[in-house]
Amino acid sequence: MRRYIITAFSILFSVSLIAQNHEVKEDSIKIRQFYNAALVKGQAYKWLDHLSNNIGGRLSGSLNAQRAVEFTKAELEDLGLDKVWLQPVMVPKWTRGAREHAYIQTGPGMTTEVNITALGGSVATSPGGLKARVLEVNGIEDLENYKADIKGKIVFYNRPMKPELIQTFEAYGGCVDQRYSGAEAAAKYGAVGVIVRSLSHKIDEYPHTGSMSYGDLPNDKRIPAAAISTKDAEYLSGILKLKKDLEFYYKLSSENHGEVKSYNVIGEITGSEFPEEFIVVGGHLDSWDLGDGSHDDGAGVVQSMEVLRLFKETGYKPKRSIRVVLFMNEENGLRGGNKYAEIAHSKNENHIFALESDAGGFTPRGFSFEADDAQFAQIESWKPLFKPYLIHYFERGGSGADIGPLKKGDIVLAGLRPDSQRYFDHHHAATDTFEHVNKRELELGAATMTSLIYLVDKYGMRHINLQTDKKL
Q: Which residues bind a copy of itself (CB under 8 A)?
A: 35-36, 39-40, 163-164, 166-168, 201-202, 363, 365, 388-390, 392-393, 419, 421-422, 425, 438-441, 444
- Cα separation, 349 vs 114, whole angstroms: 51
Of these residues, 330, 331, 356, 370, which one is catalytic? 330
The minimum distance between CB 415 and a copy of itself, in angstroms, equals 15
Is 205 annotated as catalytic?
A: no
Say which residues have a Cβ less than 8 Å from residue 25's Cβ, sequence separation at least 6. none
Q: Give me the amino acid identity at 44.
A: A
The minimum distance between CB 413 and a copy of itself, in angstroms, equals 21
CA torsion, points 186, 191, 288, 235, in degrees to nearest 10? -100
- Cα separation, 134 vs 430, whole angstroms: 26
Q: Do 187 and 221 touch, CB atoms closer than 8 A?
A: yes
Q: Please identify, using beta-carbon distances, which residue of 249 and 424 lies nearer to a copy of itself.
A: 424
The minimum distance between CB 454 and a copy of itself, in angstroms, equals 18
The minimum distance between CB 34 and a copy of itself, in angstroms, equals 11
Which of 123, 147, 170, 121 has the alpha carbon at shortest distance from 333?
A: 121
Which of 180, 203, 193 has the alpha carbon at shortest distance from 248?
A: 193
Q: Do 382 and 375 touch, CB atoms closer than 8 A?
A: no
The minimum distance between CB 232 and a copy of itself, in angstroms, equals 19
- Cα separation, 222 vs 130, whole angstroms: 14
Q: Please identify, using beta-carbon distances, which residue of 52 and 264 lies nearer to a copy of itself.
A: 52
Q: Please identify, using beta-carbon distances, which residue of 8 and 390 lies nearer to a copy of itself.
A: 390
- Cα separation, 208 vs 288, whole angstroms: 10
Q: Do 262 and 328 touch, CB atoms closer than 8 A?
A: yes
Q: Please identify, using beta-carbon distances, which residue of 335 and 365 lies nearer to a copy of itself.
A: 365
Q: Give me the amino acid identity at 407.
A: K
Q: How far is residue 458 CA from its own chain's centroid?
A: 27
Q: Please identify, using beta-carbon distances, which residue of 421 and 468 lies nearer to a copy of itself.
A: 421
Looking at the DSSP assignment, which residues form a beta bridge with residue 417? Answer: 366
Q: Please identify, using beta-carbon distances, which residue of 398 and 404 lies nearer to a copy of itself.
A: 398
Which of 234, 223, 198 has the alpha carbon at shortest distance from 430?
A: 198
The minimum distance between CB 394 and a copy of itself, in angstroms, equals 11
Catalytic residue positions, numbered: 330
